[in-house]
Structure formats: C-alpha cells, structure tokens
Amino acid sequence: MDIRTYEIHGFTEALIENGLIVPTGIAGAYGRGPVFEDILRRFDDLVTRTAAPDNAQELMFPPILARALIEKVGYMDNFPQLAGSVHSFRGSDQQARELSARVHAGERWEDLLAPTDVMLTPAACYPVYPTFSGLLPAGGRLVTVMNWVFRHEPSDEPTRLQHFRMREYIRVGRPDEVVAWRDAWLQRGLELLRGLQLPVDSDVASDPFFGRAGRMMAANQVDQRLKFEILCPVISREKPTAICSFNWHQDHFSGKFGILNADSSVAHTACLGFGLERVTLALIKTHGYDPADWPQTVRAQLWP
Amino acid sequence: MDIRTYEIHGFTEALIENGLIVPTGIAGAYGRGPVFEDILRRFDDLVTRTAAPDNAQELMFPPILARALIEKVGYMDNFPQLAGSVHSFRGSDQQARELSARVHAGERWEDLLAPTDVMLTPAACYPVYPTFSGLLPAGGRLVTVMNWVFRHEPSDEPTRLQHFRMREYIRVGRPDEVVAWRDAWLQRGLELLRGLQLPVDSDVASDPFFGRAGRMMAANQVDQRLKFEILCPVISREKPTAICSFNWHQDHFSGKFGILNADSSVAHTACLGFGLERVTLALIKTHGYDPADWPQTVRAQLWP
C-alpha cells in the first residue's frame, strides 16, 4: 500500500466514522450527512454573499440536458469517456415481461432500452449558453447556477465523485470585459478561500480531453492560458485537488449559439465554478472532522 | 383546441412571460427562474420548520443510484417505462473517432456506449432504505431527504416534469407506529397546504404500474389503501394535480434490506413526499404570477 492509497483509505474511513458521508456501494456516489451538507450550504451562501454586488441573474436547471445540446457543443468529440447518456424502456407488455425475467435471472437487460432526448448535465454552465442567443445588452450579462454535474469516472478517492454540485458564474460580453471579469474573480476566489484558511494556490490547467488527439488540445489550452484552477491539498500535498476552476471559452459557445454583443460583434464567454463537495472536503481536511472545533475566524464567515 | 389544451398552453406561456420558467427545448425539463426558485425554497423551508419537532435525520444523496438497487427493489418489474438508465463510453481512440464522426453525420451513436453501474434516482426515498438495514433502535427511525427524481414521461404539461425535486420524510418502525405517523402527516400536510390557501383535498391513489398486470396491482393498492395523495387543481378542476403523496410499503423494503425492529420483528416503512415544483406551480396558479401580490397571510408563512 503506497502513501497515496493509505491517505485515501484513512480519510474516507474517518469521513464515514464521523457521519460526514454515507457509503452507497457505488464508487463516487456516496451520501452526504447533515454536517457535510451544512458546511456545503454555508460555503455556497458565502459565495453568494461575496458575489452579491455583481447582481448575477440566478437560474436553476434540472441535472438533465438536451442530447442535441451535448452534441452541438462538441462534448462527445472531446469528453466521450465522461458523458452519461439516459436510456429508457419504450416497449410492449411482452418486452416488459422479458426485461423483468432477465433482471431476475441476473442477465443484462439494457439492450431492451432506447436512448432518450436527454443526457446528464456534464457542466453546470451548459444549459445557460442557449439562453444568451441573440443581441446582448450593452455590458453583456452575468448568470449564476448551481447544479449536479455527472462525470463517469468511478473512483474510491473521496474528492473524485461521479455526481457532484458546482456553483458557477457565467459571464458573456466583449473579450476585454470577459477577461477582466475572469482575472478579478481569480483574485477574489483566492482571497475567499484563503480567508477560510485553506492553503490554496492557482495554476494554469487543462481539461481531461479524450485520447491521443486530446493531449494536443490540452497542451494548446495550457499554452493559451484558457483555463486556471485553484488547488488545495486534500488527498496529497504533491497532487493538490482543484476546488475552483476558471474557463475562458473565447467564441466557442457564442459562435454555436449566435451570441452577439450590443455592437453585433461576436461575444466571448467565460465561467468559474466552485466544486462544492471538494471545497467541503478541503475544509474538513484542513480544519478537522467537527466544525465546532474549527478556527473562530473560519466559523464566523460560514456561520455568520 | 379543447379546454384542457388551452389551459396548458395559456399557463405555460404566462409562466414563461413572467420569467418563472425558461424553455430548454426539452419537454418536462425547463429551467426555473429566480422567483420560481425562491417560492420553491421558501416552501421547502416551511416544511422543514413544520417537521422540526420530529427531529428527522437529514441525508443528501446524489440524483444517481446503484443499478443493483433499482433491480433489487423491483422497479424494472413495475415501472420500466419511467426508468432512466445511465450509459457511458468506454471504448478506444478508434471507437471514439467513429462516435464523433457519427455525431457529425447526424447518425445515431448510442450503441457505442455501455451501461454503467448507476441509474437516475426514480424516488427520493430509495437510497435511504439500505441505510436502515439491521436492528433499529426502539421507536424506529425518521429520515428526511430532498432529491431530484427522474421519470421518463416527456410532456408539455408544466406540472409533469421529467426531472423534479421531492422533499421526502421516511419512517421505519413497527406497523402501528408507521401507520400512526402516516395518518398524522396526512392531516398535517392538508393543514399546511390549506394554511397557504390552496384548495386541496386528499384521496386514495395508486402508482403508475406498467401494462396490463400493472392495472391489477394498482387496483390492489387502492383496495388496501396503501397510497394517499393530496390533490390541488392546477391545470384543470376535473383532474387536480397530486402535489403530495403518502406511501405505506408494509414490509416491501424491510424484507429486501433486512430491516428489523428492536424486538427483531420485521419493520414496516412509509414515506411522504412533497413535489416541490408542483406545490410551487399550485401556489402560482392559485395566487398569481407575482408573489408580491399574494395574500398577506400566505406571504407571512413563506417569507417570515
């Protein structure tokens, strides 16, 4: 057992023993106990208060998304390994009896299903871009969403979840507006997290593009400094965990959804997202399993 | 256009015009605007305050569930038409290129996927039952969860959503304890909703079991009075909408998960669930599109 494995097991066991998480038998899909949820919600509220002066418009989408949208944004080209496609049964009485018989015989039955019009939302910001289509008001727009996000990467590492919550802010406007907003929030995010006494740093980063072609796309993304992350040691010091990320998409979404600035130039978009479970785990790892024992300055911000 | 169609279209259009919902192009999966979300959360808070004396344990599960659990509880026998199975890509570089080529050619690509270990959660209470396994403390247990619930029944009717939120309470204990709890909550639920001036009534009900055999199961369920609903006119007076439901499962889940009372007898379970989007729509339909104009006694309870 190497040090990394040891740390994962020790941390997970302590989270379970302290009632912070509840095993479900599925890797990366544990239940969250009341104290875990309280920390998560308090942090989300702190982000909301921090962002309040910006007057973001708040929208809520279900954790499912149009299949056509996933196809349109190129997700199946870039991240097919992470996608979750939703399939359902639309057969007859007789086929239903066969399905049921196969379940009871321990045989596979999923070939009796057909794809639906929806997939699991892979990024909380995706449903927002189509709502920007057309001419933007001067100054662009700012939207915030919180949503469950699915990534098919089952793992026993407690920060690598199959389904988790992201609090995102999505900015659309002129390139200079969008980049200034991203830069300001990178600083604001670091200050917010350091204010909670988390040992965080930022770095350029890349998305987990699939396969050999994907490695080149990831290298390009780093070269162009399109993605930044805020990292915090949770499982290991050597490989800190990304708990917040910043993506500048340039005209990727605006081109696809016809999003134009007030002067009819093509808009740019950027987003930032806090991984709410990861921030929660970073706080627990840094300050301990019982929030009652956390430093008073940290408690004062989360439980004001 | 019959009256029912007229009412659906008129109501949906007014919801959109007032910024309460945001179309996504997918039936039963619209976005929720900030006012809709505020009403929904305020109602959920009111339920939490009403239930506070009961000291329910609060758990949170992701909206995905172990496939093995769906199989074990018999969901594919009873409701195969509603289930959502999650499928992912686990192929090679070459297969990924084929997948991508098919997406761009407008061809179907889902046969390149394989079933994962998870499905979409079809009822918020399902992940809770396995956590009851073993000997219960005297008096049983009470848990509350809020979760997104998937039902594959795409519809333009705004109260019939594919993915929606349920606030549930789950009681496990002796049969007499469980039935007394259910009966008390049926009264409490009616009072809570009537206190918000909703024109509600309760009735025995049945689940949407699949096919011909299902019709008999539904009839049995009604005969045994195992399911009750609280109904409120939203789309039509003739067919009011179920906004809250109460299920007494007898030993269905306890038998499968080995849940025993402190005296080693087999436990019973019951649950109740508020359909949070449906309650929100019922409030909007009853009191108007702008909560600022709602009756003062209703506002005082939701925005105390």
Domain ranges of chain B: 3-79+122-302, 85-120
pLDDT at A148: 98
The DSSP string of A220-256 is HHHHTT-EEEEEE-SS-SSSPEEEEEEEEEETHHHHH
Residue B137 CB neighbours (<10 A): 9
* Per-residue pLDDT tens digits for B107-143: 999 999 999 999 999 999 999 999 999 999 999 999 9
* Contact predicate A193/A243, CB 8 Å: yes
- Class at the top of the CATH hierarchy for domain B3-79+122-302: alpha beta
* Per-residue pLDDT tens digits for B266-285: 999 999 999 999 999 999 99
Confidence category of residue A213, pLDDT binned at 50, 70, 90: confident
Phi first, then psi, for residue B148 (nearest 5°) are -75, 135
* Per-residue pLDDT tens digits for A144-162: 999 999 999 999 999 999 9
Name which of B32, B96, B118 is nearest A80 (Cβ-Cβ).
Answer: B96
pLDDT at A251: 96
What residues of chain A, 174 to 213, have a C-beta less than 8 Å from chain B?
Answer: 210-213
Q: In CATH, what number does A3-84+122-302 get?
A: 3.30.930.10
pLDDT at B8: 66
* Contact predicate B269/B129, CB 8 Å: yes
Name which of A84, A93, A164 is nearest B211 (Cβ-Cβ).
Answer: A93
DSSP letter at A199 equals -
Residue B62 CB neighbours (<10 A): 27
Taking the C-alpha atoms of residue A19 and residue A282, their distance in angstroms, rounded to an integer, is: 17
Distances (CA, A) of A1 to A11, A15, A37, A83, A235: 15, 20, 31, 31, 15
* Chain A hits for B93, Cβ within 8 Å: 211-213
Name which of B37, B65, B127 is nearest A58 (Cβ-Cβ).
Answer: B37
pLDDT at B142: 98
Q: Is A54 helix (H, G, I), strand (E, B) or coil?
A: helix
* Chain B CB within 8 Å of residue A71 CB: yes
* Chain A hits for B89, Cβ within 8 Å: 76, 80-81, 83
Confidence category of residue B3, pLDDT binned at 50, 70, 90: very low
pLDDT at B229: 97
Q: Is the dihedral of CA A274, A280, A281, A283 positive or negative?
A: positive
Confidence category of residue B213, pLDDT binned at 50, 70, 90: confident
Q: Is B130 helix (H, G, I), strand (E, B) or coil?
A: helix
Confidence category of residue A8, pLDDT binned at 50, 70, 90: low
Nearest CA in chain B to A75: B100
Question: Which residue's entry shows tokens 């169609």?
Answer: B5
Give the helix/strand (H/E) hosting A273.
strand A268-275
Cβ contact (<8 Å) for B31 and A87? no
* Chain B CB within 8 Å of residue A155 CB: no
Mean residue pLDDT of chain B comes to: 95
* Chain A CB within 8 Å of residue B110 CB: yes
pLDDT at A7: 63
* Per-residue pLDDT tens digits for A55-85: 999 999 999 999 999 999 999 999 999 999 9
Q: Which two tokens stand for residue A56?
A: 């973001």
Give the helix/strand (H/E) hosting B88.
strand B85-88
Name which of A58, A63, A212 is nearest B34 (Cβ-Cβ).
Answer: A58
